Amino acid sequence: MYFHLSHNFFDIIKSDNDYKLNKRVLAGELVWGNGKDGVYSSISGYVRGVYETMSSDGNLVDSICIENDGLDERAPRRPAADPIAHVREQILDIARRSRIDVFIINAVEADPFITGAGRLVIETGKKLMSGVRLLKQAFPKVAVIFAVSSTNREALDALDKEAGDNLARILPIIPKYPQDSDKFIIKTCTGRNMSLVGMPSDVGCIVISPEELLALYESVTGKHFTEKIITLGGDAVREPGNYLVPIGLPFAALISAAGGLYERPAKIICGNRMTGVELLDIETPVTKHSSALICLTEKETVANTLRPSHCINCGKCAKVCPMRLTPYLPRKTDACVSCRCCAYICPSHCLTGES
């Protein structure tokens, strides 16, 4: 297991007396650091050192390596003495900087390959609404909107069943790409427009995923965020689905646990189909930012093998751009959200879809 660190931690952690080199740690135990900024183990095993590993974007980063002992022993939980104060502490840094009046839980999934958020809502609806209840108790004047794909009837029913006392507004949203990005989900839920380079807090909103809401709720019980839901998809995968995996698990181990592959993938994408990055090494570990692994066959990537040609001025890219830009014009702009809709629709394959 590998747990990524920032590069500036490398010299500090090697000389830190609290660094548990060659010591046994339990799942959920603090390995280095303190509090919410610390590094917690997702497995039980022995700390073997700090090594360079490749991240999903192809860069080498420093990581703590823990050798799994296979016992999966967990550290005892320490529940928060005051749950409401604990929730305020987790969110107050953002709330202090801006006048937040809306929390949006974004469970909209506009990429057909990714279904993790919807699955989480279906299976943990009661815990999620308990998390909403904690938010409302910690911030009584803040409205909570739970945005869910309108096509996911099962998730909507799960929330309706638990959403008593007008805890949150359950809002079905048509999952049209890139509707699930913060900029567009805020516009749909509140009618507010984020600036081109702004943050959700600039317009009084905080946008979190169901997974983050669940992590907030479970942190009250003393459980640390050590697991991720990863959607494994693509026609090359034998058993596609949503898997709950420990952070630090190599993607190769996840593929193996899912029955392996039918054939060698033509391309492996980490993240969603449109904006994800091509994974160069399947030994890359899962991080807290990972969401999906898509293993595509040659048939699924045939369009990407076509050679680009000159722009034919058809205007299709401008018609599909959600930011109302003209991608065919050769100019750089901060307004581009890199959704790659233009690259997808371009018949000449001459656009990259990046700002």
- In angstroms, what CA-CA distances link 58 with 239, 270, 278, 279, 291? 26, 11, 9, 7, 17
Provide the whole-model pTM: 0.87
**Average predicted confidence (pLDDT) for the chain:** 86
Pair of tokens at residue 87: 């929730």
pLDDT digits (tens, 9 = 90+) for 217-274: 999 988 988 999 999 999 999 999 999 999 999 999 999 999 999 999 999 999 988 8
Q: pLDDT at residue 7 above 50?
A: no
306-355 is a CATH 3.30.70 domain = yes
Check whether 37 has a pLDDT greater than 60: yes
- The CATH number given to 227-302 is 3.10.20.600
CB 236 within 8 A of CB 261: yes
Task: Supply the pLDDT for residue 158.
Answer: 92
Write out pLDDT tens, residues 45-62: 999 888 888 888 778 888
> How many C-beta atoms lie closer than 10 Å to residue 174's C-beta?
11
Cis upstream peptide for 240 (omega within 30°): no
| DSSP per-residue string spanning 7-64 | GGGHHHHHH-TT--TT-EE-BT-EEES-GGGSEE-SS-EEEEEEEEEE-TTS-EEEEE
Angle subtended at Cα 201 by Cα 199 and Cα 206, rounded to the nearest 5 degrees: 110
pLDDT given for residue 8 in this prediction: 47
Give CA–CA dist 255/104, Å, rounded.
33
Q: How far apart are CA 292 and CA 289, in angstroms?
A: 10
Return the domain boundaries, the chain. Answer: 2-68, 83-220, 227-302, 306-355
CATH class in words for 83-220:
alpha beta
User: pLDDT by residue (tens digit) across 171-201?
Assistant: 999 988 888 889 999 999 999 998 877 888 8
The alpha carbon torsion through 168, 117, 244, 124 (nearest 10 deg) reads: 30
**Residue 300 DSSP one-character state:** G
Are 227-302 and 306-355 equal in CATH topology? no
Q: Which pLDDT band, with edges at 50, 70 and 90, does 84 fall under?
A: confident
For 274-332, how does the pLDDT look when each residue is reduced to its tens digit (9 = 90+)? 888 889 889 999 998 899 999 999 888 865 556 778 888 899 999 999 888 888 887 77
